[in-house]
């Protein structure tokens, strides 16, 4: 099962219990009563982690002992797919039209055309990390030329199948692969571009994700990220529960190797010898492009 990366950080030692809780919750309340499901999730967290001291201890434990492995049990072989998930994955193959509508109606997504243009500027072999609902995939696929090939990965099999559906809807070449970003199943220097649309914001173990990204990128290739300026935006409700403010939260996010802000990405990129060649702000969001000049 795939659940939120921050909950996986907090409960990496109690993941089986968390899965049982979420499975029951999803069956009972989702998709119709999503708000109630969130309220019950936060009650559960507060019951297990009652105060600020316990919360900080959980984070410190993860910072020291957490690893880039899928604690929730998913692995690249997709061996935990239920029949229901397979049915959903098959249905995703036909949802390209919905993604096209989402793009057309996405007035909030002012960055999306810019992102797709930057992704396609630099070459024919592109890797997209984290398909998710497929908004980024659809933006790129809709603008691809016939000689482009888009490889799309996500740890969630259903999301990987979203990519297949979107690509076939737009009549473009590519493939969706269910795998983890921590151990990409590709040779070194395979891709001319690696991109992610709000993916690095939601993945644990940012350092490992970025070193894999750089490994599979060809010299001269580019990395294009659309991200939130701050990782606090998505995780605020957890920190609020324990009276932790934004500055402290951002430091804690960095300590547990979760996406915190752009500066953190810049620092890791420059450690790998990559330079930023383009940056455009879209309010709370941005699109940034990095270039790999070395072998």
Which residues of the shown chain bind ligand SAM in the complex (CB under 6 A)? 2, 5, 130-136, 154-156, 159, 180-182, 197-199, 202-203
CB nearer to ligand SAM: pick between 123 and 132: 132
CA-CA distance, 80 to 73, in Å (whole number)?
A: 8
Which C-beta is closer to ligand SAM: that of 148 or that of 154? 154
21 vs 182, which CB is nearer to ligand SAM?
182
Residue 101 CB, nearest approach to ligand SAM (Å)? 14
State the maximum Cα–Cα separation within the chain, in Å, rounded to a whole number: 56
Q: Whose CA is closest to 151, among 127, 132, 118?
A: 127
Q: How far is the CB of 129 from ligand SAM (least distance, A)?
A: 7
> CA 244 → CA 25, 38, 116, 277, distances in Å?
27, 20, 36, 35
Beta-ladder partners of 193: 126, 222
Of 55 and 115, CB closest to ligand SAM:
115
Q: Using an 8 Å Cβ cutoff, are 115 and 224 in contact?
A: yes
User: What is the Cα–Cα distance from 21 to 201, expressed in whole angstroms?
Assistant: 25
Report the distance separating Cα 229 and Cα 112, nearest Å.
15
CB 215 within 8 A of CB 223: no
Which residues, 6 or more positions from 193, have their beta carbon under 8 angstroms from its beta carbon?
A: 119, 120, 122, 123, 125, 126, 127, 217, 221, 222, 223, 224
- Least separation, in Å, of the C-beta of 118 and ligand SAM? 15
- Cβ-proximal residue to ligand SAM, closest one: 132
Give whichever of 5 and 164 is closer to ligand SAM, judged by the CB atom.
5
Residue 101 to residues 58, 104, 106, 107: CA-CA distances in angstroms? 42, 5, 8, 11
Instruction: Round to the nearest angstrom and report the end-to-end CA distance of the chain.
Output: 37
194 forms beta bridges with 127, 223
Q: How far is the CB of 162 from ligand SAM (least distance, A)?
A: 8
In angstroms, the Cα distances linking 82 to 1, 71, 74, 79, 85 are 10, 18, 12, 9, 5
In the bound complex, what is the minimum distance in angstroms from residue 257's beta carbon to ligand SAM? 12
Give 184's DSSP letter.
-
* Minimum separation from the CB atom of position 75 to ligand SAM (A): 11
Closest to ligand SAM by CB, 141 vs 249, is: 141
Q: Select 6 or 21, whichever has its Cβ closest to ligand SAM.
A: 6
Nearer to ligand SAM (CB atom), residue 11 or residue 198: 198
- Residue 3 CB, shortest distance to ligand SAM, in Å, is 9
**∠ CA(127), CA(129), CA(131), 5° rounding?**
110
The distance of closest approach from Cβ of residue 52 to ligand SAM in the complex, given in angstroms and rounded to an integer, is 27
């Amino acid at each position: 099962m795939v659940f939120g990366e921050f909950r996986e950080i907090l409960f990496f030692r109690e993941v089986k219990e968390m899965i049982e809780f979420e499975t029951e919750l999803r069956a009972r309340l989702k998709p119709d009563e999503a708000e109630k499901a969130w309220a019950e999730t936060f009650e559960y967290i507060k019951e297990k982690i009652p105060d600020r001291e316990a919360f900080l201890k959980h984070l410190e434990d993860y910072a020291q002992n957490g690893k880039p492995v899928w604690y929730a049990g998913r692995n690249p072989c997709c061996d935990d797919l239920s029949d229901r998930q397979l049915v959903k994955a098959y249905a995703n193959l036909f949802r390209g039209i919905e993604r096209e509508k989402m793009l057309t109606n996405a007035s909030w997504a002012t960055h999306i055309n810019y992102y797709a243009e930057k992704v396609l500027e630099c070459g024919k072999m592109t890797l997209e990390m984290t398909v998710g609902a497929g908004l980024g995939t659809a933006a790129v696929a809709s603008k691809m030329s016939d000689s482009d090939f888009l490889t799309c990965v996500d740890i969630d099999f259903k999301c990987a199948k979203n990519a297949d559906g979107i690509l076939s809807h737009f009549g473009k070449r590519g493939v969706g692969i269910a795998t983890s970003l921590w151990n990409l199943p590709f040779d070194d220097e395979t891709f001319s571009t690696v991109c992610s649309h709000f993916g690095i914001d939601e993945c644990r173990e940012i350092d490992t994700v970025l070193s894999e990204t750089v490994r599979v990128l060809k010299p001269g290739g580019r990395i294009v990220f659309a991200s939130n300026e701050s990782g606090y935006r998505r995780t605020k409700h957890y920190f609020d529960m324990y009276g932790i403010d934004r500055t402290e939260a951002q430091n804690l996010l960095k300590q547990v190797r979760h996406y915190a802000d752009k500066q953190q990405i810049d620092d890791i990129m420059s450690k790998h010898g990559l330079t930023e060649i383009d940056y455009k702000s879209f309010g709370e969001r941005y699109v940034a492009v990095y270039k790999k000049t070395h072998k």
